[in-house]
Structure 1
Amino acid sequence: MRRNGLGFIIIALMLGMLLAALDQTIVSTALPTIVSDLGGLEQLSWVVTGYLLASTVSTPLWGKLGDQYGRKKLFVAAIVIFLVGSALCGLSQDMGQLIAFRSLQGLGGGGLMVLAQAIVGDVVSVRQRGRYQGFFGAVFGVASVVGPLLGGLFVDHLSWHWVFYVNLPIGALALVVIAAVLPGDATLTRHRIDYAGVVLLGGATSCLVLITTWGGTVRHWTDPVIVGLAVAALVMLAGWALVERRAAEPVLPLGLFGIRAFTMASIVGFVVGFGMFGALTYLPLYLQVVHGVSATLSGVYLLPMMAGMLTMSVVSGQIISKTGKYRFLPITGTAVAACGMFLLSTMTESTGLGTMGVYLLVLGVGLGMTMQVLVIVVQNAVDFTDLGVATSGATFARSIGGSFGVATLGSVFTARLNTDLRSVLGRTTLPPGFDPAQVRRDPTVIQRLPPALAADFLHVYADAIAAVFRVATPVVFVAFVLAWFIPQQRLRETTKATDLGECLGATSAERSSLAEVERGLVRLADTDLRRGFYTRLGALAGLTGIPPQGVWIVARLGGEGWVTAQSLAERANVSREKGRPYADQLVAAGLVERRGDLLRLTPAGRQSAQRLLRSSREGLARLVMDWGPNAQLEALLDRIAPELLGAMGDRPR
């Protein structure tokens, strides 16, 4: 593929993933304004939950359908669904429409997340893939930090509708580039897709989230609707358990729950999602209603939490890579996160914004120390055959935790708000013509009330939001207790290659076990290539006295006939004049012969190239040996080793 074409594809894929990642956080600072316009404060949580549920449950389908029918077609379909959902969200006339269209948007967003990462493996050589994986991981980091800020900017300077409309031009650009430049899929993989498992698990999860949303607030716990939802959830969970035992490719094999590390990491991950999305959803309401700050500034005040998460995710990954120890991180992280939740639960209407920023930083540091580790714990505990589905399961738990967190904490907020409002209305004389229901429909009216009455209502909102964190604190503390049951095991080499995208992305990228190992192997190899790879490889292959640039030429000519010096220079991204001395040295050493502008290896050079390939493969084999003998891994090494030595676009290091 031509390099400029590849560049366009990568940019389009990153744009698609950025859209999906942003829509997990960009809406948070716009929610108070959306409620003021559309009403439905008690349904606020579902604007976030609808997106998370749809994107999470659809993830396994997008990944396998892309393998089976072609990722290009499916990625185009995902963009179209996402853009249609975005346009309809912006046109919504009431909260019910917005929730429905957010779910449609989430369905497309799940496909964008999964397929963008899979397509990178199709179009980028192994030699370059580690660098591009880093780029895609950075997309998640950027989205987590700027999402709330962008949402506030759009609300203040345009309208809340532009939180969704902004996706249209960006998504359309990505769609045009992908349709025009991305080649069709050369190979397709047949799957026996577990449709029943996806439907039953998604249905049961939705019922449980509805119970936590409506129970005790909209409907009594004994209401026939709540009871019916509970029965439906139990029936679907039982059906899912039966289906998974017989499915050829189950969404989530039940046997994984027999592994202590997987079970504990999944539960802790559930709580991490619970706390993170719960905080992101209700803190902007506190800032905009209680402190009267603009939507943009409410996004700014959330930055300490996001910065703490991002920084500690990176730092904890480096600690794990260097020490091989990981168990202490989720224990410490959940303890710090519980402290952060407790501090937030003490906030009142008089709490300073600087103080709140410190509390948010504490919470973000705790979540960041935990998020990075949970995927590693799972990958390190399971066998190779379960690696892909276990990784997906761990991130699935975090996403579902986010859905439950927003829904459950939303019910807590609504119940506490209603109780406090009744108390205030029972002891306060209201101005003539004032409808107290306005305070629930549009919290911004508080700012226009007489000072004494406004102070009462501000206290009501501050107390209701503090109640959210009073409930979340013991939940996160339970995660701290459970984190002690995560075992410490010897860390596999490929598991050390942490990926920021896996840590911050709420939606799992559905990949096979082989793809998971290849991902880690490529990231390790990319790091190795930046640290004198050709110098060490030349020494192992007996090419003493040959500089790394010359070793690269020998590796690149291996398995080739006559090659022009100009094409070698272009592949190395250097001028012919700069590369010629290294070729001359190889000719003088008897490793390369020249005929005009053409070069090829001599018999001695071919032997050296074989030794280079053998040394490269042996080095890779050492990185995967802790997975045990496996024919798939052997084939993977046979494929990757030559590519690392001489892929197009390679250059001496």
Structure 2
Amino acid sequence: MSEVSETAETAAQRTVKAVLPGLLMAMLLAMLDNVIVGTAMPRIVGDLGGVDHLSWVVTAYVLGTTVSTPLWGKLGDLYGRKTVFMTSIVLFLIGSMLCGIAQSMPELIGFRAFQGLGAGGLMVGAMSVIGDLVPPRERGKYQGQFAAVMAIAMVGGPLVGGFITDHANWRWAFFVNLPLGGAALLLLALRLRLPKRRTEHRIDWLGALLLSVGVTALVLITTWGGNQYAWGSAEIRGLGVIAVVALAFFVLVERRHPEPIVPLAVFANRNFTLVALVGFLVGFAMFGAVTFLPLYQQIVQGASATNSGLLLLPMMGGLLVTSLAVGRIITKTGRYRVFPIAGGVVLVGAMLLLSQLDAHTSKLESGAYMAVLGLGLGFLMQTTMLIAQNSVELKDIGVASSTATFSRSIGGAFGVSAFGAIFNHRLHALLGERLGTAAADKMAAGGGGARIDPATLAQLPAPVRTAVVDAIAGATSSVFLWSIAGAVLIPVFAFFIREVALRGGPSEQPERTLIAQEG
């Protein structure tokens, strides 16, 4: 190894150690928010009303994240990751403050969409910075830390959210982001120094607009179709036309633009295309289904908001164990193909188990099911990002990170909206069977003012309370049953991933040392 290589490697390691706390805080922000809000949702619905709009609080956030993710990645490639990354954190914090002062469900949904626009840059920014500083072969060393952050978010989030909703006001579920985000901004401002590449700046604003319109139309179709509007209605057909036209023009624009927001050339790489598909399905199956777990735990299993966080510990334990093991194995062997295949198979098994949830399932049983879910996710979450980044040139790390995150986010957006529609439809049907159609209409929709939360449930007559508990349990199990349709395709696509050598080693470090430094 040459002296230049050793110096470059040592400098990169020092930089990673200096900025890693700030990056992990930003990732924690991205992961923490949805988990805290999910735990607080029963109380939010109880205060603002609109249980039929519950999924939209999540959908709006995921949609904002989805449509902005590719733009953040491209902006980082063009203008420098540090400035763009920190801008996304500021927007996210402004959105958090606005959500905390929302006075109605429509306001909250709108502010959540704005918050999601900032959130789109958090995970992409953190992963792109790591991609700049650490070669793929060495990235497994940090996978355990990424998994630890995810575990802290998924367990600590419900605990913090539960404590807030049990002992304070649900609005602090959003305000809690402010000190954490402020600390991340300070660390990144003081410590982050990145290579700054000279690039001709031409942002693909038209492509970003067309992609946003097309994705939004598709999400609205899955949300409204068969619920607010009939599948054959003029509204749904119109949205279908808008989606097709917008996405068709998006492809044309991307093929001709010198700096496309999503370079279609990256999809010529077989591995990149496959992991993008796997990421979409992971988002679809995971985010779409897990959104409804806190409601099940608090309404059906009678857990407090705080305890519902503890009930997620088995899932996080499984995720952390597999992520740590997979990271070490990949760093040691450089081999990764088997892990997304195994993760897909385990994820299907987890969804099958969770589809058995009912009003009589014990907390021990549901905990075991969630542990299996965590094992499956541990094989998939960081491995798919690593494969995506290894499939492109270093100059396209930001695009690779944002496109991989975009695939998972758009899968989550479709999953949340589609499963929200399934949940509402099944809830209404089961309430109708037990209480009659008129009572079901009032309980499940109530003109947007229904309030199904633990406090309200306790005040209902025993027969009505039992009917509501059974209906929510049945609707939740239906969501997991339908999620199997997406999960079963994950190992199928993963099977066709090729084992390509991971970039790494000191010999590659010099090409990371550029003239200018950002920040």
Q: Is TM (by shorter chain) over 0.5?
A: yes
Instruction: Give the corresponding residue for 2:5.
Output: none
1:237 alignment partner in structure 2: 247
Is the alpha carbon distance of 1:13 and 1:313 closer, same or farther for their aligned partners in structure 2, counting shifts above 3 Å?
Answer: closer
- Determine if the alignment matches structure 1 residue 402 to structure 2 residue 412: yes
1:636 paired with 2:497, answer no
Q: How far off is 1:347 after superposition?
A: 1.2
Query: Does the Cα contact within 8 Å between 1:269 and 1:374 map onto a contact in 2?
Result: yes
Opposite residue 492 of structure 1, the aligned amino acid is A
Q: Distance in 2 between matches of 1:470 and 1:6?
A: 42
1:226-625, aligned counterparts within 5 Å?
226-379=236-389, 381=391, 389-426=399-436, 440-444=450-454, 445-484=456-495, 486-489=496-499, 491-494=500-503, 521=504, 620-621=506-507, 624=508
What's the CA shift for 1:245?
A: 0.8
For residues 394 and 195 of structure 2, the distance between their equivalents in structure 1, rounded to whole angstroms, comes to 26
| Residue-by-residue CA offset, 1:296-316 (whole Å, 9 max, x unaligned) | 111111121122123212222
Structure-2 change in CA distance of 1:103 and 1:457 (3 Å): same
Q: Report if aligned partners of 2:341, 2:491 keep a CA contact under 8 Å in 1.
A: yes
Match of 2:225 in 1: 215
Relative distance call for 1:349 and 1:440 in structure 2 (3 A) is farther
Kindly provide the CA deviation profile for residues 157-206 of structure 1, in whole angstroms up to 9, marking residues without a partner as x.
Answer: 21211000112233345556666887899876433222222221222111
Aligned counterparts of 1:450 and 1:419: Cα–Cα separation in 2:
20
1:158 lines up with 2:168 in the alignment: yes
Provide the aligned length of Structure 1 versus Structure 2.
496
- After TM superposition, the structure 1 = structure 2 runs for residues 31-50 of structure 1, keeping only pairs within 5 Å, are 31-50=41-60
Q: Distance in 1 between matches of 2:190 and 2:391?
A: 42
Shift of 1:466: 0.8
Cα separation, partners in 2 of 1:329 and 1:19, compared to 1, 3 Å: closer
RCO higher in structure (CA 8 A, sep ≥6):
2
Structure 2 CA distance, aligned partners of 1:15 and 1:232? 38
**Deviation for aligned residue 1:30:** 1.0
Cα-Cα RMSD: 3.7
Q: Structure 2: state its 5+ residue gaps.
A: 1-10
* Aligned twin of 2:4: none
Q: Do the aligned residues in 2 keep the contact of 1:326 with 1:488 (CA within 8 Å)?
A: no
SS of structure 2 residue aligned to 1:26: helix
Q: Residues 597-642 of structure 1, C-alpha deviation per residue, up to 9 Å, x if partnerless?
A: xxxxxxxxxxxxxxxxxxxxxxx33xx5xxxxxxxx8x617779xx
CA distance in 2, matches of 1:478, 1:78: 33
The Cα of 1:373 is off from its aligned counterpart by: 3.0
Q: Measured at CA, do residues 209 and 173 of structure 1 come closer, stay the same or move farther in structure 2, by a change above 3 Å?
A: same
Alignment partners' CA distance in 2, 1:148 and 1:462: 20
CA pair 200-311 structure 1, distance change in 2 beyond 3 A: farther
Distance 1:120 1:488, change over 3 A: closer
For the 8 Å contact 2:60–2:113, the answer to whether it is kept is yes
Which residue does 2:214 correspond to in 1?
204
Distance change >3 Å, CA 417–CA 135, structure 1 → 2: closer
For 1:87-166, list aligned pairs within 5 A.
87-115=97-125, 138-166=148-176
- Match of 2:216, SS state, is helix
Within 2, Cα distance between the matches of 1:415 and 1:177? 47
Q: Is the 8 A contact 2:159 2:306 kept in 1?
A: yes
- Structure 1 pair 163/277, CA: closer, same or farther in 2 (3 Å)? same
CA contact (8 A) 2:65 2:119 kept: yes
- Provide Cα deviations, 1:409-446, integer angstroms capped at 9, x if missing partner: 1110001011111222229999xxx9786794324333
Paired residues of 2:147 and 2:323 also in contact (CA < 8 A): no
Q: What is the CA–CA distance in structure 2 between the aligned matches of 1:493 and 1:388, rounded to whole Å?
A: 18
Q: Does the Cα contact within 8 Å between 2:99 and 2:111 map onto a contact in 1?
A: yes
Residues 67-82 of structure 1 aligned to structure 2 (within 5 Å): 68-69=78-79, 73-82=83-92
Q: Which runs of 5+ in 1 are unaligned?
A: 495-520, 525-619, 625-632, 641-653
Distance 1:129 1:343, change over 3 A: closer
Distance in 1, Cα, partners of 2:197 & 2:491: 45
Distance in 2 (alpha carbons) for counterparts of 1:90 and 1:639: 43
156-165 or 327-336, which deviates more: 327-336
Give the letter aligned to residue 398 of structure 1. R
Larger CA Rg, structure 1 vs 2: 1
Distance 2:122 2:297 in 1: 32
8 Å CA contact 1:72, 1:185 repeated in 2? no
Q: Deviations over 1:565-620 (max 9, x none)?
A: xxxxxxxxxxxxxxxxxxxxxxxxxxxxxxxxxxxxxxxxxxxxxxxxxxxxxxx3
Task: After superposing the two structures, state which structure 1 stretch, 139-148 or 299-308, moved more.
Answer: 139-148
C-alpha distance in 1, partners of 2:110/2:232? 27
Task: Report deviation, 1:362.
Answer: 1.0
d(CA) in 1 for partners of 2:127, 2:388: 20
How far does residue 471 in structure 1 lie from its aligned partner after superposition?
A: 0.6
**Is 1:53 the equivalent of 2:63?**
yes
- Write the distance in 2 (CA, Å) between the matches of 1:76 and 1:387: 18
